[in-house]
Amino acid sequence: MSSPGATVVIPTYNGARRVEAPLQALVEQQAPSGCFEVVVVDNNSSDGTARVVEESASVAELRRRGVDVRVVPEPRQGLLFARLCGIHNARREVICFLDDDNIPEPNFIADGLAHFEDAGVGMVVSRIYPRYETPPPPSISRREHLLAINHRMGDALIDFGAEATLAPTIGAGLWMRRSAILDAVPWRTPERLMPGRLGKLMVSGEDIELGYLLGKAGHRRIYGPTLKVWHVIPSSRFETRYFIRLIMGVVRSEKTLEARYLGRRMGALSRLKECARLVGAGLASPALALRGDSVREVLFVLASRWAQVQGPYAQLHESR
């Protein structure tokens, strides 16, 4: 039986240099210490992440205040496995996922828990802002949502409803009711779920899938604009090859989810139409170049169109 309050789950892979930031932010929370615990999931790290957490000054301070902080190992590589591990190790009814490069504002836990006073709410999406090490070039700034940024969703609460729809339930700062997860998600057979990153494949959408499954099971999903989180983004994310892979991974993951849950198959006619759009984008390259950061702008548009042509990840769609 889960206790009231929240379990903050921080999955991390080789996060020794990053994990102190969210831990320090948890020290600064305005919520009473007894209303939350912390579970750091060490996802097969090789850089001594677990030791760094145990020796952290922030962890020492949290424990001094009575906050239970535990480090648990998850040898299966992948964000999905790390999150499932956090869910299984949680002792509180509400779970919040923070990435190891997330820094929540001091009101984060208190405001997050307040949303779950409504028994119908099963999931709450936080408002994610970027904290760039260096300003992004224009071609990437226009696509910052691909970097798990959603602050442009606005200041008003949004109710995505309790139905089988694909909603923007971004994983950074994502809140969920534990009993809803165990009820709605096939956690005993994780191979049926979107896996997150797979080696060099930039697979995503596992957070969107969780939102779909909770909505289908009758749990409301909402966007809470007061739940402000800063996502620290290094300049290495702006490397052209990395961002092209990111674009293609996001597009193909979206196609996979649409095929799984909305029945949008990729037939010959659909593929032909996408090929025509790819050719059209190539012909429009001179106009695209006028947008600024011209070379990357053209490459990014063509990458998106090529991903549309490729369609869903066949191995993931067929695993259902």
The residue assigned the tokens 């949680």 is: 90
pLDDT for 1? 59
How far is 305 from 285, CA to CA, in rounded Å?
12
Same domain (yes/no): 29, 120 = yes
Tokens of 12: 């991390």
Alpha-carbon distance 295 to 169, whole Å? 32
Which residue from 245, 251, 6 is spatially nearest to 113, judged by alpha carbons? 6
Please tell me the pTM assigned to this model: 0.93
CB-based contacts of 285: which residues, under 8 Å, 6+ apart?
298, 302
Which tokens go with 232?
């620290």
Condensed to tens digits (0 to 9), the pLDDT of residues 179-194 reads: 999 999 999 999 899 9
Q: Is the pLDDT at 2 greater than 80, yes or no?
A: no
For residues 167 and 51, membership in a common domain is answered with yes
On whether both 81 and 209 belong to a single domain, the answer is yes
Same domain, 127 and 229: yes
Residue 124: beta bridge partners? Answer: 175, 222
Provide the number of structural domains found in the chain: 2
In this structure, what token pair is assigned to residue 284? 């429009």
- Looking at the structure, tell me whether residues 85 and 127 fall in a common domain: yes
pLDDT over 90 at 257, yes or no: yes
Alpha helix (H) ranges present in 234-293?
240-262, 268-283, 285-288
**Dist. CA 173–CA 231, nearest whole Å:** 10
224 shares its domain with 294: no
In which domain, by residue range, is 258 found?
241-317
**Looking at residue 183, which CATH number applies to its domain?**
3.90.550.10
Q: Judge whether 176 and 215 are in contact, CB under 8 Å.
A: no
Token duo for residue 187: 């956690």
Question: pLDDT at position 119, please?
Answer: 95
* Phi, psi (deg, nearest 5) at residue 40: -95, 120
- Residue 254 confidence (pLDDT) above 70: yes
**pLDDT digits over 226-242, tens only?**
999 999 999 999 999 99
Pairing, β 220-233 against β 158-161? antiparallel
Task: Identify the domain boundary among 194, 217, 238.
Answer: 238
